[in-house]
């Protein structure tokens, strides 16, 4: 990450497709072509794990930290693989090309995946590839497949509400349910086999075009996940499996009551006793599918805010130290060539900076934070950037640049903006002005959300934090990824010496 590079932030769900949600099919390959034609060498995306409607389909609230989201499997590639017939795709799959429809996508994809599984079972060819996949991924796949099937059996109830024998994973109950649900379990494993087969092919295609893929590792996992159910000892839980202490952030100028996320916090002492084996497996898994990883909420690896689960706000929490240096020493001893981006937004204390500097992990510099306060000292303003950082116009949690200018920017920020650029900007010019100063930054790496390249407003915002539903739905229309745009991006990239 020391070379001058640039890329685009676009999640898989936001890609064009015919099946109500972006997927790993034609739209993904066309976007990889668009990146290459635009001179971009980085594609950043959000976590691709299986999401839950109960969490508004947030990619940061998933049933597994290892599994792939079956909704992202591409039906057109299943036809190419022989698992579906072309006639299976001749029904009415129409959907809004500008918004993800998760319910519609689940209806379409689940039916097609069942057909694909039945076709697979009828095939006479050897099943060695599936068997090898299942064996290689057994450390997470067996628990995940059983977990998903049990959730269906118990009408979606969280695992802590299941009958105590299977909630507590007694061996007789595990054996009984594994046998009872054997066919459904095999189908879930097959879906994961399809997902990671399609993903690996797409990543190889990107790498052949000199594009590196940046994945995202949320620090916390969902309580209602296969990970917590199968590894209760690594989380601070009550005897009945419910969280005893949960994660969040304390009150600050964004919120007088802080943010209560609800994820169970780690028992770092128990993790240390295993030399952080669960985390090592998680990182190894991600590094097999991504070239670079972003560690979300990096400060939580140094010290984290834990709150009793009975609290309604994050006010009555406390800071608890995490074994950051010991943990990262272990990680780097296993993966000495790992490339990490540290998500260091929010209130970052000197101890967090010390750890980032020790390991030379680059932090993030969103330009939307640059024009408040004193321009001479604001760390996000371009003249204060350092080489070892990643500049963004904004992130998935921010408004688009145009949306920010039209709806969020204060009068003082607009005045600072005009003073800094030496001219008045408006809603029609601000997006590309931000892109330009990002590209010219001394920072080694620049990532631009796709929404800002196509100059969209708040209608294209990906996520509004603290709003539970209606997020993660924006999609880019295929005709936006046009040759004239790729030529303009390539021109900027050449001017500012990026690759």
For the annotated catalytic residues, the residue numbers are 296, 343, 397
Distance of CA 1 to the CA centre of its chain: 20
Q: Which of 441, 100, 12, 49 is nearest to 224 (CA)?
A: 49
**Residues in a beta bridge with 259:** 249
H-helix or E-strand containing 172?
helix 171-180
The encoded tokens of residue 37 equal: 């034609």
**Residues in a beta bridge with 294:** 216, 341
The encoded tokens of residue 356 equal: 């980032």
The encoded tokens of residue 264 equal: 């169970």
Residue 184 to residue 354: CA distance in whole angstroms: 49
Residue 329 to residue 214: CA distance in whole angstroms: 22
Q: What is the largest CA-CA distance in the chain?
A: 72
Which residues touch 484 (CB under 8 Å, ≥6 apart)?
A: none
Q: Which of 297, 335, 337 is nearest to 216 (CA)?
A: 297
Which residues touch 334 (CB under 8 Å, ≥6 apart)?
A: 280, 283, 284
Which residue spans within 152-264 are E strands per DSSP?
212-217, 245-249, 259-264
Residue pair 345/339 in contact by the 8 Å Cβ criterion: no
H-helix or E-strand containing 392?
strand 389-392
Which residues touch 117 (CB under 8 Å, ≥6 apart)?
A: 186, 187, 190, 191
What DSSP assignment string belongs to 9-59?
Answer: E--GGGS--SSSS--SSHHHHHHHHHHHHTT--EEE----SPB-GGGTT-T
Residue pair 499/41 in contact by the 8 Å Cβ criterion: yes
Q: Which of 117, 107, 111, 113 is nearest to 53 (CA)?
A: 107
Helix (H, G, I), strand (E, B) or coil at 389: strand
Residue pair 165/173 in contact by the 8 Å Cβ criterion: yes
């Amino acid at each position: 990450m020391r070379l001058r590079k640039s890329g685009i932030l676009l999640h898989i769900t936001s890609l064009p497709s015919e099946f109500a949600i972006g997927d790993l099919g034609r739209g993904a390959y066309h976007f990889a072509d668009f990146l290459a034609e635009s001179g971009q060498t980085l594609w950043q995306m959000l976590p691709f794990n299986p999401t839950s409607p109960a969490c508004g389909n947030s990619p940061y609230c998933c049933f597994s930290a290892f599994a792939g989201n079956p909704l992202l499997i591409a039906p057109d590639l299943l036809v190419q693989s022989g698992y579906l017939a072309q006639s299976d795709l001749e029904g009415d799959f129409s959907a809004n090309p500008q918004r993800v429809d998760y319910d519609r996508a689940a209806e379409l994809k689940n039916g097609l995946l069942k057909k694909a599984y039945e076709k697979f079972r009828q095939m006479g060819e050897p099943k060695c590839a599936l068997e090898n996949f299942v064996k290689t991924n057994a450390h997470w796949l067996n628990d995940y497949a059983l977990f998903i099937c049990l959730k269906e059996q118990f009408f979606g109830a969280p695992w802590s509400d299941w009958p105590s024998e299977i909630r507590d994973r007694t061996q007789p109950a595990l054996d009984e349910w594994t046998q009872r649900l054997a066919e459904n379990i095999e189908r879930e494993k097959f879906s994961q086999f399809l997902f990671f087969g399609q993903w690996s092919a797409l990543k190889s295609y990107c790498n052949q075009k000199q594009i590196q893929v940046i994945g995202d590792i949320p620090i916390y996992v969902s309580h209602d996940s296969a990970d917590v159910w199968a590894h209760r000892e690594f989380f601070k839980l009550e005897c009945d499996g419910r969280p005893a202490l949960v994660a969040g952030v304390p009150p600050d100028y964004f919120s007088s009551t802080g943010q209560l996320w609800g994820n169970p916090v780690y028992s770092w002492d128990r993790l240390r006793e295993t030399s952080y084996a669960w985390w090592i497996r998680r990182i190894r898994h991600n590094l097999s599918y991504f070239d670079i990883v972003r560690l979300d909420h990096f400060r939580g690896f140094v010290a984290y805010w834990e709150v009793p689960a009975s609290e309604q706000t994050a006010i009555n929490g406390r800071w608890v130290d995490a074994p950051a240096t010991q943990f990262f020493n272990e990680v780097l001893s296993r993966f000495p060539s790992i490339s990490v981006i540290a998500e260091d937004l929010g209130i970052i204390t000197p101890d967090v900076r010390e750890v980032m500097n020790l390991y030379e992990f680059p932090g993030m510099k969103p330009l939307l934070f640059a024009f408040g306060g004193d321009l001479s000292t604001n760390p996000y303003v371009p003249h204060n950037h350092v080489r070892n950082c990643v500049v963004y116009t904004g992130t998935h949690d921010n408004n688009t640049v145009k949306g920010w200018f039209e709806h969020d920017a204060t009068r003082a920020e607009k005045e600072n903006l005009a003073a800094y650029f030496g001219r008045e900007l408006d809603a029609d010019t601000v997006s590309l002005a931000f892109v330009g100063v990002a590209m010219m930054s001394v920072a080694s790496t620049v990532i631009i959300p796709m929404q800002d390249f196509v100059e969209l407003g708040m209608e294209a915002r990906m996520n509004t934090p603290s709003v539970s539903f209606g997020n993660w739905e924006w999609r880019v229309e295929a005709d936006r990824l046009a040759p004239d745009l790729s030529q303009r991006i390539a021109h900027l990239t050449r001017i500012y010496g990026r690759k």
